[in-house]
Structure 1
Amino acid sequence: MKILLPIDGSDVSLEAVRVMIRLSKDGLATSAVLANVQEAATLYELVVAHDPAVIEQVSAAAGAHTLQPGEALLNEAGIAYETEVASGDPAHTIIDILERYGCDMVIMGARGMSTLRGALLGSVSNEVLHTAKVPVMIVKLVDASSEDSAIDG
């Protein structure tokens, strides 16, 4: 099973990697696609940089750096993976990566917004959950007093 793991550098996105590793250790044959989506450059950045290639290089380097902790976890667990750093709207780009790589599932973190705030602002995980044509597992971190994370599916 090929699993897409969107990584944004947050603790909860790395917890999603740990959940995937636990599934693999429990017997699920898995491989992963670690993905990071960098938001498109702003007009200010384009004007200041004078060269769009410089912005692309900086964005690609930032994305690769963000993926490193997830790569380290998967390397330690001996799980095969591919990486993708892309630019654009996070939710739509995640769906595009999901389809291009032929992933069977997405495991991703959620920031734990309140229902009202999530309804007003939307969220990447909520949009992926409702748009993806494959199962999406949303991982949340619980408070520091608990040792395990909670998993909502």
Structure 2
Amino acid sequence: MNAIVIGTDGSPGAEAAIQKVLELVRGTGATVHLVCAYPGRSALERIGMTGKSDPVDLRGVAHDVVSRDEHRFDDAGLKVEKHVRAGDPAHTILDVADEQHADLIVVGAGGTPGHRRLMLGGVAGKLAHNAQTSLLIVHPS
């Protein structure tokens, strides 16, 4: 493997995905691409979140998430690159996977129960339907 893309958002599912990749990548020479997406301005406008007096810096939060995760790969002596972008998480992960010619995409399973998961989809579901490369969905223990 040359390139592995991991979707991360700081959730327990993302944590499980990172742990699995740490186990899989050792000794392969693969580069790990950490991807974190955050809502862009248009998405925030749709839900009425712009114009607030003290908005949360979502880009900064996303950078903090990937920086924390980056250190884990650095500590293990693995090559890692960070990708923080505004947009839909599944689309962003797919874009990075295409750009990097990824051999594998790894994401954590979301916590949406049964019928809601089937109706709403989710990042893992969108990736399963649209990924052009292998996909590993990791369930938190």
TM-score range, shorter chain: 0.7 to 0.9
Equivalent positions of 1:102-141 (< 5 A) are 102-141=101-140
Which residue pairs with 2:38 in the alignment? 38
Equivalent positions of 1:84-95 (< 5 A) are 84-95=83-94
Greater relative contact order (Cα 8 A, min sep 6): structure 1 or 2? 2
Distance 2:64 2:98 in 1: 24
Distance 1:46 1:13 in 2: 28
Is it true that 1:76 corresponds to 2:84 in the alignment? no
Which residue pairs with 2:11 in the alignment? 10
User: Structure 1 runs of 4+ off > 6 angstroms?
Assistant: none
Q: Which has the larger radius of gyration?
A: 1
Is it true that 1:20 corresponds to 2:21 in the alignment? yes
Contact map agreement 1:39 1:89 (CA 8 A) in 2:
yes
Q: Deviation of residue 16 (structure 1)? A: 1.0
Please, which runs of 5 or more residues in structure 2 have no aligned partner? none
Alignment RMSD, CA only? 2.1
Q: Deviation of residue 113 (structure 1)? A: 3.0
Normalized against structure 1, the TM-score is what?
A: 0.79
Identity of aligned residues (%): 24
Q: Deviation of residue 71 (structure 1)? A: 0.8
Please, which runs of 5 or more residues in structure 1 have no aligned partner? 50-54, 143-153
Q: Deviation of residue 80 (structure 1)? A: 0.3
Contact map agreement 2:106 2:138 (CA 8 A) in 1:
yes
Q: Deviation of residue 14 (structure 1)? A: 1.9
Contact map agreement 1:35 1:85 (CA 8 A) in 2:
yes
Normalized against structure 2, the TM-score is what?
A: 0.85
> 1:35 corresponds to which letter in structure 2?
V
Q: Deviation of residue 135 (structure 1)? A: 0.2
> 1:130 corresponds to which letter in structure 2?
H
Distance 2:61 2:111 in 1: 25
What number of residue pairs does the alignment pair up?
Answer: 136
Distance 1:124 1:83 in 2: 19
Which residue pairs with 1:146 in the alignment? none
Q: Deviation of residue 88 (structure 1)? A: 1.0
Which residue pairs with 2:97 in the alignment? 98
